[in-house]
Amino acid sequence: MGLFGKIFKKKTNGEKEENFNDDDKDLSKIKQESSKDLSKIKQGSSKDLGKIKQGSSKDLSKIKQGSSKDLSSQSIYIDSEEIILNNIVIDNFFLLDNSVRFNVFNESHCDDKSNIFYKVWRTQAIIQVIFKHYVIKSIPTQSTVITITDLFNKKLTTGFIPDTTKSVTFGRKFNQSLEVGSIPESVTYLKFGDEFSPISLPLNVLPSNLKTLIFGQYFHTAFKMVNIPPSVEILRLARCNTELLAEKLPKNVQDLNLGEVNGRTLTIGDIPESVTTLSLDQSFTNKNPILEVGSIPSTVKTLILGPNYNQLPPINSIPDSVASLTFGDSFNQPLSPGLIGNSVGMLVFGEAFNQIISPGCLPDCVNILEFSNYNKPFVYGALPNSIIYLDLGKSYNLPLSNLPENLRSLKLGRSFKQQLTMDTLPPSITEIYLVPNFDKTLISYDIPKHILKVNEKN
């Protein structure tokens, strides 16, 4: 890698700063024994520095005037030291496009003087002297999509994000308090990183036209201190307190993720009737039942019970409007008739579920049934004949029996090592998904080859 390939190497997420402690002895030698070479660098390398200044002047002019073709880009990425816009790198100290970076200073220029210059270059004083004019003032006004990387954690001033911006995504480390105007009114999509958790989000801080609002994993701001615009239609919370839901949730929200639910049991009116997709999870500290009959509005069509949820929902608490129901990876409760709504067409069980299913527990409306680690035999009549797609998951390894009469697609995982014969399958079957390394000797001669498919998932 050449001199400028080293200097301008772009940092990736999580990449650490280079450690130059090991170079102390070399730097000491440079100061004590190589004054002649340093002098050559200061004086004799002015031509190279001139190339930098002159060769980049066009790019600088374009940026200052806002007429650069590159600046018409729709997206921009920011971290704590640099802004990356297409192939142009701008930071507090330099601006060079790729052609200058790799054509003017390529491998052929990396002689001993370059190595010395590289070490001295890294000192703050020289950087500031050479590139004192190359300081970022703001994001180009043409930007509409802004992604801020994990290293950025600076106070936002009014005008820093241009009022043409539609989408802003903050990185993991951003955790600054926001003021009115710091996020422009033009923003309709706003996503915060995992560490964002200010003391409060006062009224009018978030844009009034906001449609999508996503908070990160460690958002612990007291719910009473959070003001969400009524325009929000998609809302993702890390956790919530049920005491304030009816007051704080926007009335037009359609896709709602409550995160870990704390406080009392959800009751009628807590969740707006505008919600069609609802996700919620169980908090480790909350032992109260989360759901009661009527707490989920009849407008909800998709219900997702999160990875920590392991409560038995009350009978009839899942409304008949729910067409898709997902139980998370911790759920392992025995099912009973009436537990699952009478309109559920797609039913998904997570990693932990491994309960015997009795007849009548699954409603006749289920068309798609998916397991993860299930390994129990199916009792006759337990699987309704309405099922046309059955995924037995990665752990199932029992002889096939009592499959639904109308089953079309059957997916078998990596643990399945049982004989496959047509007399164990319903005549309606049209697809059998097997893992790539499935033992072909277990496949009976009477199974048509064209119905055998490859299962890449399990």
Confidence category of residue 139, pLDDT binned at 50, 70, 90? low
Q: Where are the domains of the chain?
A: 3-130
> What pLDDT does 276 receive?
98
Check pLDDT > 60 for residue 333. Answer: yes
Neighbours of 112 (CB within 10 A): 9
Contact 413, 393 (CB under 8 A): yes
> What pLDDT does 291 receive?
95
Chain centroid to Cα 283, Å, comes to 21
Amino acid at 319: P
Residue at token pair 């699987």: 383
Rg (CA), the chain: 30
Contact 23, 119 (CB under 8 A): yes
Check pLDDT > 90 for residue 78. Answer: no
CA distance from start to end of the chain: 42
DSSP 26-59: HHHHHHHH-HHHHHIIIIITHHHHHHHHHHTHHH
Burial class of residue 41, CB neighbours in 10 A (0-12, 13-18, 19+)? buried
> What pLDDT does 148 receive?
84
Q: Are strands 189-191 and 452-454 parallel, antiparallel or unpaired?
A: unpaired
Amino acid at 21: N
Q: Tens digits of per-residue pLDDT, 406-439?
A: 999 999 999 999 999 999 999 999 999 999 999 9
Token code pair at residue 359: 């007849």
**DSSP 8-class letter at 85:** E
> Does the reported pTM lie above 0.75?
no
Q: Tens digits of per-residue pLDDT, 184-210?
A: 999 999 999 999 999 999 999 999 999
Of the candidate ranges 35-44, 161-170, 190-199, 340-349, the one whose mean pLDDT is the lowest: 35-44
Helices 24-33 and 112-121 pack at an angle, to 10 degrees, of 110
> What pLDDT does 115 receive?
56
Token code pair at residue 426: 């319903």
Distances, alpha carbon 200 to alpha carbons 171, 204, 205, 304, in Å: 19, 12, 10, 28
Neighbours of 243 (CB within 10 A): 14
